Structure formats: C-alpha cells, structure tokens
Amino acid sequence: CPAPADLRPLNGTRVCAQLYADNSPYYDQCCAGDVLVVEPGSDVPYMPRQWSARVSSLVVGTRCELNVWSRRGKKGNTRHFGT
C-alpha cells in the first residue's frame, strides 16, 4: 500500500484517501485492483454502484479523515479513519 504522504496523482494535487477493491492476507499484495479516489472536502452520501460492498483496503492521506457509514445515506454505524 502507498504511504499516506504519497497519495498524490501525477498532476500533484492532494488526495484524501484511496479505496481498493482487491485484498490479500499478505500485506505486500493488498491495495490492488480498482481504485476509488476520494478528494479533500468530498461529501458523498452514496457509494458508486459498482463499489457497493467491494472495498477491501484503504489508505487515508495525512491531515485527512475518512468517515464511512454501514448504510446508505449516511445512516447506520459509522467508522472514522485517519488522524
């Protein structure tokens, strides 16, 4: 997985988080497959349809926080990731 400080695309803008579709019991093989990029300040109450129940790994950038809910529309249990 990339280090939190390394979450920058080629154009150099900042990325708040990256969510990955593939996972593995081996750490060096985690963070693979399709990537969903979360930009700073994003407020997305619904996951894109093709990402529902698919995220297996995530990395949150420095000075960012990612909040997720167990149900759509920001309902259900919530978890916070980041510092």
> What tens-digit pLDDT sequence spans the chain (83 residues)?
888 888 876 677 788 999 998 877 777 778 888 999 998 888 888 888 888 788 888 999 988 999 999 888 889 999 999 86
pTM for the structure as a whole:
0.80
Domain annotation covers residue 1: no
> Is residue 3 in a domain?
no
In whole angstroms, what is the distance from residue 1 CA to residue 76 CA? 28
Is 30 inside any structural domain? yes
Domain count, the chain: 1
* Residue 7 lies inside a defined structural domain of this protein: no
Predicted local confidence at residue 44, as pLDDT: 84
What was the pLDDT predicted at 10?
65
Amino acid at 49: R
**Tokens at 58, concatenated:** 């995530």
26 part of a folded domain: yes
Residue ranges making up the domain that contains 42: 17-82
